[in-house]
Amino acid sequence: VAKSIIQAKQSESEWFVLVVENAISFLDSSVKSIETSPKNSIIDLYTAIELFFKARLMKEHWSLILAKPEEADINKFENGDFRSVFLAQAHKRLEKISKETFEKAALDNFLNLGMHRNQIVHFAHTDFKGDKASVIVELWASWFYIYELLTNQWAKYFDEYMERFSSINTEIRNHIGYLESVLDIRTPQIKIELEKGNEIVECPSCTLLSALIDKDTPITQVGKMRPVNTWGPINYPAKKYTCLVCNVKGFKIIDS
């Protein structure tokens, strides 16, 4: 029988730090198990993403990370005795309470990763050993989206962790070989797009020459944080793309 865990009492800002540290430790273990256990890698990455959303909610108010904020009780909270919010509600709260907006592609990716995680945790998910490359593509895209959130939209909340995010990013990028093997498979499709007169550019996520520009979407201004985030984001013109290798959808800033 599982005993309830008695946690030491923490202040709200200490809780934030603990939640972020916990998220980062799940990221670390996700990265470390990419090769040995893609299954655990997916579970851990999803857990990390959900924790980052909770950490972000805590910056609004601690009660928002509860499944039922109307039952908030500071004493229970401080003892860690509560049910917390799931990702699907967390992003809605941020949209409604903090007027945040999220890319649909990013949210869809997180929710799909969550479904995949649930399949692994709740059912016997047997067809796993088949295709490591496709699991790594899935992890890659999820990481790209959460990394974008942490380092741009949420940069002011997670400022102190940028170096750690960047070193995790480097570790994930060491697995580029799997994406290059997917590029080989996609090459005929990319050729067809080029023959149709479509534009293929370097993908901002996987850096391969595999991002198909959506010519029907007009050039859009996209806010990006400066390297040192003192003055907030600046806007750059960007084109909408879908990567044919890593499946990431987003906006590619036009250089020049």
| Part in contact with Zn ion (CB under 5 A); list of ranges 33-41, 97-105, 218-226, 241-249 | 241-249
* From 30, 109, 151, 205, residue interacting with Zn ion (rule: CB under 5 A): 205
Query: Which CB sits closer to Zn ion, 84 or 207?
Result: 207
Q: Is 206 in the site for Zn ion (CB under 5 A)?
A: yes
CB of 208 to Zn ion, least distance (A): 6
Report the alpha-carbon distance of residue 68 to residue 149 in Å, rounded: 25
Tell me the site size for Zn ion, rule CB under 5 A: 6
SS3 of 123, please? coil
Give the shortest CB-246-to-Zn ion separation in angstroms: 3
Q: Which of 175, 162, 174, 130 is nearest to 226 (CA)?
A: 162
> Long-range contacts for 251-254 (Cβ within 8 Å, ≥24 apart)?
251/220, 251/222, 252/201, 252/203, 252/204, 252/211, 252/213, 253/204, 253/222, 253/224, 254/219
**Least separation, in Å, of the C-beta of 247 and Zn ion?**
7
Closest CB to Zn ion among 109 and 205? 205
CB atoms within 10 A of CB 46: 26
Compute the least distance from the CB of residue 65 to Zn ion, in Å. Answer: 32
C-alpha 248: how far from chain center = 11
Question: Which of 93/252 has CB closer to Zn ion?
Answer: 252
Query: Do 206 and 196 touch, CB atoms closer than 8 A?
Result: no
Q: Which of 24, 49, 139, 203 binds Zn ion (CB under 5 A)?
A: 203
Cβ contact 147:165 at 8 Å: yes
Region of 57-65, 76-84, 166-174, 201-209 interacting with Zn ion (CB under 5 A): 201-209
Closer to Zn ion by CB, 47 or 205: give it: 205
Residue range at the interface with Zn ion (CB under 5 A); choices 65-73, 98-106, 120-128, 235-243 = 235-243
Query: Strand, coil or helix: what is 157?
Result: helix
Chain residues that interact with Zn ion, rule: CB under 5 A: 203, 205-206, 243, 245-246
